[in-house]
Each structure stands twice: as C-alpha cells, then as structure tokens.
A and B are shown apart, each in its own frame.
Chain A
Amino acid sequence: MHPAPSVILFSVLSGAGFGLLAYLGFGFVHLYGWLAFLWWGLGYGLAIIGLFASTFHLGNPWRAWRAFSQWRSSWLSREAWASVATLLSCAPMALSDWLSLDLPRSFGVLGGVCALITVFTTAMIYTQIKAVPRWHHWITPLMFLTFALTGGAILAGQNGLAQLLCGLLLGVMLAVYRIGDGQFARRAQTLGSATGLGVIGEVTVFEQAHTAGNYLLREMIYVVGRRHAVKLRGIALVLATGVPAVLLLLPGIWGAGLAAVCHLIGALAARWLFFAEAEHVVGLYYGKR
C-alpha cells in the first residue's frame, strides 16, 4: 500500500496526542495554571495537527464534513465522530485544570475514554480490510493503542510507566512483524485462485493489462523501498522503544524531551512500514505484490 505522508503523520501525531489527552484526562498528571494549559495544549495541538494533515490526501477535502454521515457502517465516519467527541469532552477538564475550577475527575475520565476509542476507530479503518491480509488481524488495533499509550506516557512525563510500555510496545511490534509476515500466505490466494484459472494449470502473467502505470499500481501495489524493510524495522524498534526507555533514565525535562522525539521518529518509521509492507490481493492479478 502506498505510504501517504499525510496519513502517516496524521496517525502518529494524533495517536500520541490522543494518548496524552487520555493520561491528562484520567488524572495521571496533576497540573495547574499555565503548566496545565501548556500540556493540555500539547495534547490538543498534536491531535488537531494530525486530523488536519489527514485531509491533505483527500481528492475533495472541502466535502470532508460529509464524512460524519455514515457512522452506522463506516469506521472512517466513526473516527470522525470519536475525534470530535474527544476534543469536546476533554475541554471541561482542560479548562478546570487550567483555571482551577475543581471539576470532578469523572469529566476527564470521559474525555480519556473518548481519546482511546478514537485511536481504536483509526486502527479499525485498516483492520476491517480483508483485501489487505497483513492488516486484517486483531493485533492491528492492539498496536495502534500501544503506540498511543506509550507516546502519551512519555509526553505526560510518566517515566516509569512509559518504560514499562516501551517494553510492551517492543513485544507488540515483534508480534506484529511475526504475525504480519505470514498473513498473506494464510489467505492462501495465488494468481491461480484469484483468476480461477489455477484448476487448468500453472498461471503466469503473459502480458500486463496496460503498459503504463495506473491508480492501482501506485496506490495498492507499492513496492518501492521494501528492500530496506529489515533495516527499517530495526531502526523503528530501537528508536520507538529501546532508546526512549534509556533516555527516560536521564534527569530533568531534556531526557523526556529527547525520548519523546526519538519515540515519534521511531513511530513514523514503523507507520511507514505498516503501509509499505502491506500487500493488497489485487497485486495478484498483476503478478506483483
């Protein structure tokens, strides 16, 4: 699948942003005054920048408001609702922390739950697609949620918890690669089964349907850069989990800041791979994957 930069930026930044909002909402951090304003602002900023970036890959972004209409069937529509619900439901707690209004924590808990639901809906957009076997597995939402919780914990200054989550994320990422690599084979689709011609004999591509590129080849049969996949996996694992866990041992805000930057770069690499390594079954018709 084509790794669109806007979608990679969106899902990584808003994922970390919603993770941070969840920690702030649940009351893991007790901040007051302008410090609360800054931290809530960071959560809101990351979430909103991400949502804004996601409209860049649309063919007709000015019609994006229509995406709220199909919540009964579409995970993309549910994501739109969940993200707006999160931004609204977090507002009372954010104002309360900033202006010391002393609202009960249940307001924040509601916002935090909405934030995590939003991350889940984002993951389900990919998980639901049977035509991309690598994504069509319960490990996909688990990975998105673990990334959001880890990034959120680092940004929220929950060093001990963040180090634990880095360990968990390492395990989840390794499981994602392990499971993902076998998913296409488990689908048991080949050129022979996809065309139904396999019953006659061995099927190979004799001539491509078109000599030039098209939308399908660009969007669904993206193979550029896969040869560096193993190296990138290593970089993603180290930067998203190992390095931040060590940097969090450093005292003061610099360690946490560097850990957050490292983790986000690692998460971007991992998300790029999430798309670039995903193979769509339509590639079978082209004899490519």
Chain B
Amino acid sequence: MTCLPVTTQKKLGLAIDLDTCVGCQACVTACKGWNDQGYGAPLSDQSPYGAEPSGTFLNRVHSYAVQPIDGLAQTINFPRSCLHCEDAPCVPVCPTGASYKRAEDGIVLVNEDACIGCGLCAWACPYGAREMDAAAGVMKKCTLCVDRIYNENLPEEDREPACVRGCPTGARHFGDFADPDSKVSRLSAERGGYALMPDLGTKPVNRYLPPRKKDQRSEASVLAPLLDIRASGFAGWLDRVLGKI
C-alpha cells in the first residue's frame, strides 16, 4: 500500500551547503553517470546531439542572483533534488503502489516494474524532484544511491551518494537526520539548516545550509588610500589654478 509509514527508523538525507557550492554541476554529472547503470531504467537522453536535446536528470543546479538591501549582489548556486520528505505527497497519490517510502531508512523510491507512468506523483511533488523517463515511460527520482550506500562491494569511502562523492568542494553531506549526533544533524544545527517550503506540510528531510554572512568593507577597495594622491610643486600649482578656472 502507498500509505506512508508513521515513522522511519532512520531519516537518511542530504545537507547541502549553499555557501560552498560553486555551481560546477559535478553532482549533476556524477548522478547521471551512476544512474545510467545498475538501479532501474537508465536515465535516457532524447536527441542529445540534436537541435533540441533533452534528458532525464535527478538533480539540477540552479543559479540565483540575490540582491541584499545594502551590499553587493550575490550569486547563489542551488542544487535541487528529492528531499525524501517525511510526509511525501508523491507517495499516497500513486494508484499502483509503485511509489513508496521505506520504513527502515525513509528513502522514497519507485518500483519501476509497477509504475504505469501516469505522472501524478510528479504533479504532487512541489519541488520538481521527479522526472518521467521518456524512453522507459516510468518515473525516475533520486534513490539516495540506495545501490551505493549499502553496497559492500564498494570501498567504504564510496558508500555514499554519487553526488556527495563527486562534489569537489564538499558542499554536499549525507547522513541520518534522525540521529541528533550525526554529522549532518550537527552541521544543520550549527549552520541553521532549513527545509524548502515547509508550509506545504511535506516535512522534507534534506536541509539547506544558508550562505554565510558576507563581510562588509567600510571602503570600496583596499587600494583606496593610494588613490588619494596630492600633487606638489609645479603639478600642485597647476592643479590649484586649473581647479579655480
């Protein structure tokens, strides 16, 4: 049944650091690369070298410009993927039972063999986390790399989601949010991690760590004192005369 579990033993998810993310799209590529093989239908592309390329991705990185009331504008890169919500709206709408949330670790998954590709779960998700694969006709979403994190054939350091493993700046962290002492829980508490659109009642597990406050310099440039050159001698006389005309 696609009824949601009341509680889950673990709440596995990601903490995404918007301060450190440089928008390099390595997580997008790592995710696509890993999910092209192994778990479920591969993430397909349509006309990848044609005039209108299109494809299925489970992770997208947006770039936003934020203009504070005082101070300079900031560029903030914003990765967007499944938040593995506790009250996931995508699960109960599924008519076939293909969409489910695991009671043991809270991962939201799709049983592709039962998916009819009606798209209702993607409609129900406010975050755009689900994309229908145009080749397979089934719904694809972030699996939190369920085929990596428990995979004992991989070296221990690789047992985390491909996007986390591939991030060159360490902006993505994986762990259990149900454990208050886990790395991600502590990081989120320290940095004021927040959930996306909490008023929709979805109770996302993933947390976003806000950009740190930027320094405000009192002067425009460290070179400013050097710009205040007072001419002396003949140049000084010329400067004064010309200034009076």
Contact = CB atoms under 8 A, between A and B. Distances in A.
Contact of B95 (A66, A213, A280): A66
A230 B61 CA distance: 35
Interface residues of A, number: 57
B118 interface: yes
B132 A215 contact: yes
A64 B96 CA distance: 8
Interface string B19-59: 00000000000000000000000000000000011111100
B127 A282 contact: yes
Given A201-B68, A215-B122, A208 B62 contact: yes
Given A1-B123, A66-B97, A76-B118, A281 B64 contact: no
Interface string B108-150: 0000001111111011111110011110111100000000000
Contacts of B124: 128-131
Given A70-B97, A220-B128, A214 B62 contact: no
B119 A219 contact: yes
A266 B61 CA distance: 42
Nearest to B76: A197
Contact of A282 (B53, B76, B116, B126): B126
A67 B95 contact: yes
A66 B118 CA distance: 12
B98, B128, B136, B194: most-surrounded residue (chain A CB, <10 A): B128
Interface in A60-78: 60-61, 63-64, 66-70, 72-77
Number of chain B interface residues as a range: 35 or more
A63 B96 contact: yes
Given A70-B1, A76-B118, A130 B200 contact: yes
A242 B12 CA distance: 56
A209 interface: yes
Interface in B191-232: 194, 196-197, 200-201, 208, 210-211
Interface in B168-208: 194, 196-197, 200-201, 208
A224 to B, nearest CB: 15
B197 A193 contact: yes
What secondary structure prevails in chain B residues at the interface with A?
A: loop
Given A131-B124, A131-B125, A212-B53, A73 B2 contact: yes
A210 B125 CA distance: 20
Contacts of B57: 210, 214
A189 interface: yes
A53 interface: no
B140 to A, nearest CB: 9
A128 B90 CA distance: 11
B153 interface: no
A236 interface: no
What secondary structure prevails in chain A residues at the interface with B?
A: mixed
Contacts of A189: 197
A69 B99 CA distance: 12
A200 B128 contact: no
A281 B120 CA distance: 15
A126 to B, nearest CB: 9
A59 B117 contact: yes
Contact of B115 (A59, A128, A206): A59
Contacts of A285: 62, 78, 80, 127-128
Nearest to B200: A130
A75, A129, A196, A215: most-surrounded residue (chain B CB, <10 A): A215
Contact of B96 (A70, A72, A193): A70
B95 A76 contact: yes
B65 A69 contact: no
A241 to B, nearest CB: 29
A202 B70 CA distance: 11
Interface in A190-249: 191, 193-197, 199-210, 212-216, 219-220
Contact of A73 (B54, B92, B114): B92
A282 B125 contact: yes
Given A66-B96, A196-B210, A61 B116 contact: yes
Interface of B: 1-3, 18, 52-57, 60-69, 73-76, 78, 80, 89, 91-98, 114-120, 122-128, 131-134, 136-139, 194, 196-197, 200-201, 208, 210-211
6 contacts: A60-B138, A196-B210, A215-B134, A216-B128, A216-B131, A285-B78
Given A61-B116, A204-B66, 14 more contacts: A58-B118, A59-B118, A63-B114, A66-B98, A70-B1, A73-B91, A131-B123, A189-B197, A195-B62, A195-B78, A197-B211, A203-B64, A206-B65, A214-B57
